[in-house]
Chain A
Amino acid sequence: MAIAEEGFPPTISLEGARKQRGSLTQARIRWMILGLVIGFGLVGARLVQLGMMETDQRIEGQTRDAITATRPPILDRNGLEMAVDIRVPSLFAEPRRIIDVEEAVQKLRTVLPNLDENWLRNRLTGDKGFVWVQRELTPQIQEQVMRLGIPGIDFITESKRFYPAMNEAAHILGSTNVDNQGIAGIERHMDTESVALLQELGLARGNALTPVELAVDMRVQHVLHDQMVDAMTRYQAIAAAGVMMDVHTGEIIALASVPDFNPNEPASALVKDTFNRITAGIFEPGSTFKTITIAGALDSGAVRITDQFDARYGIRFGRYTIDDFHGKHRILSLPEVYKYSSNIGTIRVMQAMGKDNFREFLSRMKFDERVEFELPEMRVPTVPTTLSEVGAATASFGHGLSISPLHLVTAYAAFVNGGNYIAPTIYKRDMAEAEQLYERVISEETSEAIRYLMRLNALEGSGSQMNKAAQGYRAGGKTGTAEKVVDGRYSSSKVTNFFASAFPLDNPRYAIVIMVDEPKAENPQSGTTAGWNAGAITGRLVQRVAPMLGVAPDFSEILDQQIVPRGLR
């Protein structure tokens, strides 16, 4: 009306009332259409906006991913499971939805009597949306709690790590905490590598994760662990540990250290003395170190396998005289120095090489640093950076320096495999990969001489206890009885015994180091030196594992004659 009045002066009225009303209706319809178009346009625009928007993950969905996050199964080299994930129910509460806290507390305690009443009451009171009550329960308990029918109490399925081998591979596997994060051993190493990232992204779900394959052979691991446990009772030792390594690829076939813990109960790992003695323990290696001294001297060319050494008298350093334990007190050939484990002879060998060359050889064998290895529990060895005359003399037979058994086994592996240092690994590694990592530390000929010496020691020397059980497997090695320092002096009653060995020595495949801490004599006829315990354990171990590893026994003497170096034939 207003438009018409303003647009057209009232005095001249050209349009009839009907037409006027008609045009007014048309104008209204136009306005209406405009309104509708705008309205639908808004709705449409909103729809497009909604369609463009990224779908927001609800908080609940994200939490579920994080708590059912799985870890890849760990398999041994033959595909046997060493660690698997199982789904277990965990009990949680939503305190703001609980109507009667007192009733809930009383009812819950009928099924879970070990929960503290006050703690539970505090837990369930309040306005929180989510609290854990108890995690990782059994399906039976879940059933019973569900039957109570308490509002605001529910279960969620979580992944839990299970180690079917129990204690056997404890130090290799380590363990995980309640949030399924690795806290020790290879589990921890895996987390630093990749699993943690996957879990964070919520991708580590289901069973899609590729299994992790270790180099460990569970059969061998079982036998080794069995022998270690046996050693604890048989020799009343305070600890025993052993490691076995493939000399060509550096793969760790077995690694055990007792006392150990059950990875299914991570708290048991906190008990004193359960540390991994192979990687995280450093010890004076005793006479097993003579192999290293002799290998260094032979390789430097200063000493030949046919040389003779004067071991008639002890060597004096100021007030001290170093003498032999099994003293022959005569001129000894190099194989005799090794066979009789002569300290005097070994010092003479070291002196022929020169103490600086000797120290340089220790660095070449990587005795200054941690072994490059995946397990996080490692310790730095203590080897003096410069050696005095007397320091070099004691170091030549393994006193005054401390290395881990892993250092020792790696060195022995390098000595027998043809002279190539290969860092150990817990993961599978094939020959081609290993060969790229080889570092030559001694020559092929020196390696041959060391193999001969180790076999000789098994046939005629301190390794004969070992050889008795391992007949036919051409095993050989060196004993080491290191006296412990008690109140600042070396004690002859408390010793740490080692046996470092390899087999079959005509074509070496495995190197072993066995350690027994503070053993006692098994019976009055036997002794406490390494041959009686660490040596005997090695023998029994080789006897049982060699057939598993495809090493056939061979009694022909020709094999032992073939490894004698040319100069001695």
Chain B
Amino acid sequence: MIRTLNIFLIVASLVMLTGVYALKFSIEGTAQERNALIAKISEQEGQLSLLKADWALLTQPGHIEPIIRRHEAVIGVVPVKQEQFGSFESLPMRPAKPDYAGMDALFQAISEGIDPIDAILQLEGIE
């Protein structure tokens, strides 16, 4: 009886020993993996910070202007002049409604066989 119990206890302690060590090593492995990932993340963050800095440098107005100035003649750009600005208010308004009488006269003329455009084309010598 005691002997069986002893064997059982020895086996149990061996199993637990193996289990605990396995757990320990797997945790160490995980920790290592985590450290590697942290190192990788920090390295990539570093690279990202350099790329961001690059981007910030390349999009600075102070960086772009000299490039534009250098190629001014080729791409044909000049600083904008006040006269080049317009506004919607300065556009002429659309006529309130179509010129029905004029259109009626035009359609009637075409149906009667007189095309006003023909006369202009003949006058200009096209055809």
Q: Does A226 contact B (CB under 8 A)?
A: yes
Chain A: which residue is nearest B87 at the CB level? Answer: A552
Residues in B with CB closer than 8 Å to A219 are 61
Q: How far is the CA of A87 from the CA of B43 in the complex (A)?
A: 9
Chain A: which residue is nearest B46 at the CB level? Answer: A87
Residues in B with CB closer than 8 Å to A552 are 85, 87
Residues in B with CB closer than 8 Å to A152 are none
Q: How far is the CA of A473 from the CA of B87 in the complex (A)?
A: 14
State whether A471 and B59 are in contact (beta carbons under 8 Å apart), knowing that A157-B42, A164-B53 are contacts in the complex.
no
In the complex, the answer to whether B62 meets A166 with C-beta atoms within 8 Å is yes
State whether A164 and B49 are in contact (beta carbons under 8 Å apart), knowing that A226-B65, A543-B82, A552-B85 are contacts in the complex.
no
Per-position binary interface string of chain B over residues 55-80, scored 1 when its CB falls under 8 Å from any chain A CB and 0 otherwise: 11101111101000000000000011
Q: How far is the CA of A84 from the CA of B85 in the complex (A)?
A: 36
Question: What is the predominant secondary structure among interface residues of chain B facing chain A?
Answer: helix
Q: How far is the CA of A349 from the CA of B111 in the complex (A)?
A: 82
Choose among A80, A157, A207 the residue that contacts B59 (Cβ–Cβ < 8 A). Answer: A80
Q: How far is the CA of A544 from the CA of B78 in the complex (A)?
A: 12
State whether A81 and B62 are in contact (beta carbons under 8 Å apart), knowing that A207-B45, A553-B82 are contacts in the complex.
no
Q: Does B52 contact A (CB under 8 A)?
A: yes
In the complex, the answer to whether B60 meets A164 with C-beta atoms within 8 Å is yes
In the complex, the answer to whether B82 meets A471 with C-beta atoms within 8 Å is yes
Per-position binary interface string of chain A over residues 405-449, scored 1 when its CB falls under 8 Å from any chain B CB and 0 otherwise: 000000000000000000000000000000000000000000000
Residues in A with CB closer than 8 Å to B62 are 165-166, 168, 222, 225-226
In the complex, the answer to whether B60 meets A165 with C-beta atoms within 8 Å is yes
Per-position binary interface string of chain A over residues 384-417, scored 1 when its CB falls under 8 Å from any chain B CB and 0 otherwise: 0000000000000000000000000000000000
Q: How far is the CA of A397 from the CA of B126 in the complex (A)?
A: 75
Number of residues from A at the complex interface, CB < 8 A:
30
Residues in A with CB closer than 8 Å to B20 are none
Residues in A with CB closer than 8 Å to B65 are 222, 226
Residues in A with CB closer than 8 Å to B83 are 553
Residues in A with CB closer than 8 Å to B55 are 81
Q: How far is the CA of A543 from the CA of B82 in the complex (A)?
A: 8
- Using a CB–CB cutoff of 8 Å, the interface residues on chain A facing chain B are 80-81, 84-87, 157, 162, 164-166, 168, 206-207, 218-219, 221-223, 225-226, 471-473, 543-544, 547, 552-553, 555
Q: Apart from A85-B49, A552-B87, A553-B85, what are 17 other A-B pairs with CB-CB below 8 Å? A: A80-B60, A81-B52, A84-B53, A87-B42, A87-B46, A87-B49, A87-B50, A157-B42, A157-B46, A162-B53, A165-B62, A207-B45, A218-B61, A543-B79, A544-B79, A547-B80, A553-B82
5 A-B pairs (CB sep. < 8 Å): A80-B60, A87-B49, A165-B60, A218-B60, A543-B79
- Using a CB–CB cutoff of 8 Å, the interface residues on chain B facing chain A are 42, 45-46, 49-50, 52-53, 55-57, 59-63, 65, 79-80, 82-83, 85, 87
